[in-house]
């Protein structure tokens, strides 16, 4: 970015360009690889930074399409100059160059968004997090929240008013409008219906789950909240919508660790992440960190109790011995060691005693249970979710929701794009812009604490 003193007069006098340069200048453009694209024969190559700046302007100004972006740039020649597009000289034009002729075509703008390497955008996010660590207190990043956002593909199958003879959500029928999107479930509500919905209806026929299905993608983010300063995005990624929420956890946290240089102590996540490996990730004997996650009764299983040796208790209150362990490769997103515990009255030797509560499983060989052989499997059941410490961490989960609220206003939910690469890049640009706005507020507050 050029200093103001070196700018041409028509660039300094443009209010729109001055406003946009105030936050565009906060990006570390020097971190971008030297990569230029020749957008048509006989013209100079266009720097990657020019395209990225134009896409950020598109998102910031709420321009829905590439054609509207191009019209906006044509109306602001000073912005074309400031973004670094190669100028086509023309002495007959007011500013000495042909504005329309200096810009890529609408098609080239669209094509280039899909072709840009997302790794280059991640470099800009790296620098944003590094700058935030320099500007914010030392506890920055110790508590994080993680969440995902559904993104609807731009296909007719997602339009309820569109007549589709074949199955609307048949995963074997890929929508013609987007060759990359996948079908998935947007939300699922567990309705606690204890009686039939209407007279004469069997209880077994009552639906206990409602799902909203669509074709699309999902965006996952990790956010750090700094009280008094705001929320900042530490990591983000985009996947097709057939991937479960849990699949975001390890890739996102790997990004966070790489950028911060340490593993966060506390994590605030929703019930979709109620899994032993999440609790294991934040648990450490070296500190009091933990994952604040609501308990989910998966398969109808309630909270378990354990003895002092971390062995589960049966319903009769007896400690169950471990019969064997094995490597489970199918029931979680990662392979893990699983332990099977059995009735203490029958193993390792039969005691001759009967079950104190005459459990229904007693005639079948007694009770047994299998759980992950890790501390996280026990922490999941033993975590005090009524404590003040738990609520202090779990309340941070709203930070991710506020980021998604901003992203929604910037058009993340219904992008008018047709390929995963383009949607992935646009999502990263949206989060870069949200961080830029937060950093701009941060600098303003540092200069004037009374704001």
Residue 420 · residue 218 · CB < 8 Å: no
Three-class SS of residue 408? helix
Q: Where are the alpha helices (DSSP H) in 63-215?
A: 66-74, 77-83, 99-102, 106-115, 118-135
What does the pLDDT average to over 373-395?
95
Say if residue 310 is preceded by a cis peptide, omega within 30 of 0.
no
The percent of the chain in helix, strand and coil, each rounded to the nearest 5, is 40, 20, 40
* Distance from the first to the final alpha carbon of the chain: 27
What tokens does 132 get?
A: 């935030």
DSSP letters, 20-68, are HHHHHTTS-GGGS---EE--STTSPPEEHHHHHHHHHHHHHTT--SHHH
Instruction: Tell me what pLDDT residue 95 has.
Output: 82
**Residue of higher predicted confidence among 17 and 44:** 17
Residue 175 · residue 183 · CB < 8 Å: no
**Residue of higher predicted confidence among 397 and 211:** 397
Which has the closest alpha carbon to 235: 252, 258, 215, 248? 252
What does the pLDDT average to over 53-69?
95
**Residue of higher predicted confidence among 188 and 146:** 146
Residue 101 · residue 84 · CB < 8 Å: no
Which has the closest alpha carbon to 57: 75, 73, 36? 73
The tens digit of pLDDT for each residue in 78-111 reads 999 999 999 988 888 888 899 999 999 999 999 9
Percentage above 90 pLDDT, the chain: 71
CA–CA–CA angle 131, 132, 133 (5° rounding): 90
Residue 374 · residue 336 · CB < 8 Å: yes
Q: Longest C-alpha distance within the chain, in Å?
A: 104
What tokens does 278 get?
A: 């999440």
As a whole number of angstroms, the distance between CA 220 and CA 233 comes to 11
What does the pLDDT average to over 405-414?
96
Per-residue pLDDT at 199 exceeds 80: no
- Going by pLDDT thresholds of 50, 70 and 90, the confidence category of residue 385 is very high
- Going by pLDDT thresholds of 50, 70 and 90, the confidence category of residue 300 is low
The tens digit of pLDDT for each residue in 157-178 reads 998 888 777 778 888 899 999 9
Instruction: Tell me what pLDDT residue 163 has.
Output: 79
Q: Are strands 88-89 and 46-47 parallel, antiparallel or unpaired?
A: unpaired
Residue 366 · residue 290 · CB < 8 Å: no
The tens digit of pLDDT for each residue in 17-29 reads 999 999 999 998 8
The tens digit of pLDDT for each residue in 203-255 reads 344 343 456 889 999 999 999 998 888 999 999 999 999 999 999 999 999 99
CA–CA–CA angle 2, 6, 9 (5° rounding): 115
CB-count burial class (<10 Å; 0-12, 13-18, 19+) for 363: exposed
What does the pLDDT average to over 3-21?
84
Instruction: Tell me what pLDDT residue 202 has.
Output: 43
Element (H, E) at 223: strand 209-226
The tens digit of pLDDT for each residue in 263-293 reads 999 999 999 999 999 999 999 988 899 999 9
Average of per-residue pLDDT values in the chain:
88
**How is the chain split into domains, by residue range?**
4-116, 120-295+389-447, 299-374
- Going by pLDDT thresholds of 50, 70 and 90, the confidence category of residue 194 is very low
């Amino acid at each position: 970015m050029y200093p103001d003193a070196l700018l041409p007069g028509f660039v300094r006098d443009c209010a729109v360009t001055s406003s946009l340069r105030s936050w565009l200048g906060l990006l570390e453009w020097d971190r971008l690889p030297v990569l230029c694209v020749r957008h048509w024969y006989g013209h100079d190559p266009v720097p990657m930074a020019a395209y990225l700046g134009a896409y950020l302007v598109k998102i910031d100004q709420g321009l829905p399409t590439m054609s509207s972006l191009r019209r906006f740039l044509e109306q602001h020649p000073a912005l074309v100059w400031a973004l670094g597009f190669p100028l086509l000289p023309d002495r007959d034009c007011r500013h000495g160059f042909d504005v329309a002729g200096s810009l890529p075509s609408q098609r080239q703008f669209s094509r280039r968004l899909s072709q840009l390497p997302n790794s280059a955008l991640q470099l800009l996010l790296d620098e944003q997090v590094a700058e935030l660590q320099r500007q914010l207190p030392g506890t920055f990043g110790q508590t994080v929240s993680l969440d995902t956002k559904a993104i609807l593909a731009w296909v007719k199958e997602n339009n309820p008013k569109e007549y589709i003879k074949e199955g609307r959500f048949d995963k074997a029928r890929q929508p013609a409008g987007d060759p990359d999107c996948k079908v998935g479930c947007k939300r699922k509500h567990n309705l606690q219906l204890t009686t039939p919905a209407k007279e004469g209806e069997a209880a077994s026929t009552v639906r206990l789950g409602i799902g909203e299905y669509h074709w699309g993608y999902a965006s996952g983010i990790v956010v750090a909240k700094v009280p008094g300063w705001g929320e900042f995005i530490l990591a983000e990624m985009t996947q097709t919508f057939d991937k479960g929420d849990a699949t975001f956890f390890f890739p996102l946290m790997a990004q966070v660790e790489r950028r911060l240089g340490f593993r966060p102590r506390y994590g605030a996540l929703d019930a979709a992440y109620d899994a032993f490996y999440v609790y294991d990730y934040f648990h450490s004997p070296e500190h009091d960190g933990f994952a604040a996650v609501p308990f989910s009764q998966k398969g109808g299983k309630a909270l378990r109790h354990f003895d002092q040796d971390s062995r589960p208790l049966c319903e009769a209150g007896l400690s169950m011995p471990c019969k064997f362990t094995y490597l489970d490769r199918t029931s979680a997103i990662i392979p893990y060691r699983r332990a099977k515990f059995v009735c203490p009255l029958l193993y390792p030797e039969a005691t001759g005693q009967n079950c104190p509560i005459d459990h229904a499983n007693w005639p079948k060989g007694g009770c047994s249970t299998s759980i992950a052989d890790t501390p996280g499997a026990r922490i999941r059941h033993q975590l005090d979710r009524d404590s003040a410490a738990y609520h202090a961490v779990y309340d941070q989960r709203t930070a991710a929701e506020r980021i998604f609220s901003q992203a929604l206003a910037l058009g993340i939910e219904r992008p008018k794009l047709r390929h995963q690469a383009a949607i992935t890049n646009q999502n990263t640009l949206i989060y870069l812009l949200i961080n830029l706005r937060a950093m701009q507020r941060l600098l303003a507050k540092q200069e004037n604490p009374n704001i």
